[in-house]
Amino acid sequence: MGRIRLDPNALALLSTFEHLTGVKAIDCLQEEDTTTFLVREGDLGLAVGKGGAAIEKVRSKLNRTVWVFESSDDPEKFMRNILKPASVRRITKETDGSFNVELSRHDRGRIMGLGGIRLKVIKELAERHHNIKLNVTSAY
């Protein structure tokens, strides 16, 4: 993973997230009306808070949809983390270095999100943090 450059707006969002949750996020992406934070492995529960209280503070303050994903140094675990709550059936590495992730049809729809925004964010995180080109397919 190379260094990730963040613009001043993203840095301000990271600061707000840390102030409200007590958890340091390692990345932040904005897509339409959604802000996505990536936290260190093991920090997801703290970031969400009891009953979702901490993340609700962030949503309220930013007045945006907020997603939080958990990082991992292991690329396969990272992909499983950012695809939650979908159940990953299989991950295969292709000869070109890309990864194919197979989900159920139901889960693929959940991962796509409205207008494909969620899938776009997931693919960008995989690229930024593990230099992975991610292809998501569904099983029949």
Q: What is the pLDDT of residues 86-114, one digit of tens each?
A: 888 888 888 888 888 888 877 877 787 76
The mean pLDDT of the chain is 89
pLDDT for res 56: 95
* Domains of the chain, CATH where assigned: 8-70 (3.30.300.20), 75-139 (3.30.300.20)
| DSSP state string for the chain | --PPP--HHHHHHHHHHHHHHS--EEEEEEETTEEEEEE-TT-HHHHH-GGGHHHHHHHHHHTSEEEEEE--SSHHHHHHHHHTTS-EEEEEE-TTS-EEEEEEHHHHHHHH-GGGHHHHHHHHHHHHHH---EEEEEE-
Confidence of residue 43 (pLDDT cuts 50, 70, 90): very high
pLDDT for res 53: 95
Confidence of residue 3 (pLDDT cuts 50, 70, 90): confident
Residue with more model confidence, 56 or 89:
56
pLDDT for res 47: 95
